[in-house]
Amino acid sequence: MMIFAPLGCLAAILLFLSIPLILVLFFLNLVSFSFGQLGLSPATTMALILAMLAGSLINIPLTRRRVTYSFPATIRGLFAQPQYSGVALNVGGAVIPIALSIYLVTRMPSVWQVLVATVVMAAVAKALARVVPGRGVVLPVFVPPLVSALLAVLLAPQFAAPCAYVSGTMGTLIGADLLNAHRLRGFPGMLAIGGAGVFDGIFLVGIVAVLLTALV
């Protein structure tokens, strides 16, 4: 039995190291299934996922203002970089979800259900959003997708999946980011609409909301 112990330990180590890969593949399968409910092909789904992840690192400045700080007369002050504040649009968390939402709306047989669901979702996101110094706007993880999925099933059962995605993502962007922009003006740095923690919320809202509508 001692002869096979190293092989058993090696198998256990390989299994432990493969857990993150298994979780990533499981998550990608869930995302692919979720976007498939929106009528998107697997190739389009993978391209969107990669574009959102890569785009989360890109912010398009809308306004920018240089902020002047006073540093003590030390060597550190000589090499200090100029600081800026302003508003930017995150590609992965705002531009791509907005473009996808517009595409989905153009394929819907009726839009009033989506408008009502988006308005309600924006109000919910506004009520739940918290401004945290150093992180920006923070939302609970599961409440927004539950609300958007419920609204989609009740208002648009014939096209619940795209309604849930549009109302969830757009409602979160409007309610969490845009309606709280005035509360972030005094914070240093760039305010990224759809960036940081809100990007995570928008990404999960769209996926989980569509998954929930598929289970109903």
The tokens for 19 are 């857990």
Question: Which DSSP category does 109 fall into?
Answer: S
pLDDT given for residue 123 in this prediction? 93
Helices assigned H by DSSP within the chain: 5-36, 42-55, 75-78, 96-106, 112-128, 143-155, 160-172, 196-215
Note whether 132 and 84 are within 8 A (CB). no
Alpha-carbon span 15 to 22, nearest angstrom: 10
pLDDT given for residue 166 in this prediction? 92
**pLDDT over 70, % of the chain:** 64
Give the distance, in angstroms, between the CA of residue 9 and the centroid of all CA atoms in the same chain: 39
Phi, psi of 88 (to 5 degrees): -135, 160
pLDDT given for residue 92 in this prediction? 83
pLDDT given for residue 61 in this prediction? 80
Q: What is the CA radius of gyration of the chain?
A: 21
Alpha-carbon span 141 to 130, nearest angstrom: 13
Weakly modelled stretches of the chain, pLDDT under 50: 1-4, 69-71, 73, 77-78
pLDDT given for residue 170 in this prediction? 92
pLDDT given for residue 189 in this prediction? 62
Each residue's pLDDT tens digit, 119-170: 999 999 888 887 766 556 777 778 888 899 899 999 988 988 899 999 999 9
pLDDT given for residue 66 in this prediction? 56
pLDDT given for residue 102 in this prediction? 93
Give the end-to-end CA distance of the chain in Å, rounded to a whole number: 51
Alpha-carbon span 173 to 198, nearest angstrom: 8
Partners of 63 in the beta sheet?
87
Alpha-carbon span 16 to 8, nearest angstrom: 12
